[in-house]
Amino acid sequence: MNTQAVWAIYRFEMARTGRTLLQSLVSPVISTSLYFVVFGAAIGSRIEEVDGVSYGAFIVPGLIMLTVLTQSISNASFGIYFPKFLGSIYELLSAPVSFFEIVIGYVGAAATKSLMIGMIILMTAGLFVPLQIDHPVWMLIFLVLTCVTFSLIGFIIGIWADSFEKLQLVPILVVTPLVFLGGSFYSISMLPPVWQTVTLFNPVLYLISGFRWSFYGAADVSIELSITMIGVFLASSVAIIWWIFKTGYKIKS
C-alpha cells in the first residue's frame, strides 16, 4: 500500500476542517443545543420517560446519529466532488495510487471528522442531561462503523453528482427524513401497530436502535439485527465503489 499517498489525501482533507471550522464543528454544537432547548423543554415536559430513560437523555443517541449520518455523507461527497469539478481527479487517477488507497484517504478523513463531531455532540449533550453508557465499547464500534459506512455512501454520491444541488439531494430529501422517522426522537413502541410495521422497513431504524442500546440497554429491534444491517450497508457501499472504479463510471469521462 502507498501509505504516503493515503496520508497526503487524508491530511489535505483534514486541513479543510480548519478552514471551515465554524461550519464543521461549531454549527453542529449550536444545532444540538437548539434541539435540546426545543425538544427537551417543549416535549420533555410532557413525556417524562421512554423505556425507563428520561426523554432528554433518550434523544441523545438519535441526535448523534442525525448529525453523524448527514455530516459523514456531506464531508465525503464534497471531498471527492471538488476534484471532479476542478478536473484534478485525473491527476489523481494517473498517479501510482490504487482506487483502494484513494478511498481510504477520502473516506478516512470524512469518517474522522464525523467521529469528532459525534464525540463533541456527546460531550455537549452531557451539559444538558445526565448520560449513561452501559456498553461504551459497543457505542464506539457503532459510531465508528456508522461514520465509515455513510462516508462511503457520501463518496458514492460525490461521484454520482454532477452539480452542487445533487450533492444535497440525498442528505436532505432521503437521509434526514429517514432519521426523523427512524425512532431518533421516539420509540417505535409508541406508534400504532400499523406504523410500527411500516417503520421496520426504514433501514436507519436499525442503526439508531443499536446505537441507543449501547447507551441504555434498550432497543426497538435486536442488537444482532442492527449489526447485520450495518454490515449490509458497509458491504453494499464497498461493492458499489469497486464497480465505479472498475467501470470508470463518471470519473473517466
Per-residue pLDDT of the chain (253 residues; tens, 9 = 90+): 788 889 989 998 888 777 666 666 777 778 777 877 777 666 666 676 777 888 888 888 988 998 899 889 988 998 899 888 877 888 887 888 888 899 999 999 999 999 998 998 898 888 888 888 999 999 999 999 999 999 999 999 999 988 888 888 888 888 888 988 888 888 888 889 998 899 989 999 999 999 999 999 988 899 999 999 999 999 999 999 999 988 888 876 5
**45 is a domain residue:** yes
**21 is a domain residue:** yes
Which cell numbers in the block locate residue 252? 473517466
**235 is a domain residue:** yes
Asked if 5 contacts 97 with a C-beta cutoff of 8 angstroms, the reply is yes
**252 is a domain residue:** no
Asked if 5 contacts 105 with a C-beta cutoff of 8 angstroms, the reply is yes
**25 is a domain residue:** yes
* Range of the structural domain that residue 87 is part of: 3-247
**19 is a domain residue:** yes
**217 is a domain residue:** yes
Question: Based on the structure, what is the number of domains in the chain?
Answer: 1
Which cell numbers in the block locate residue 42? 417543549
**253 is a domain residue:** no
The pTM assigned to this predicted structure is 0.91
pLDDT in the model for residue 5: 86
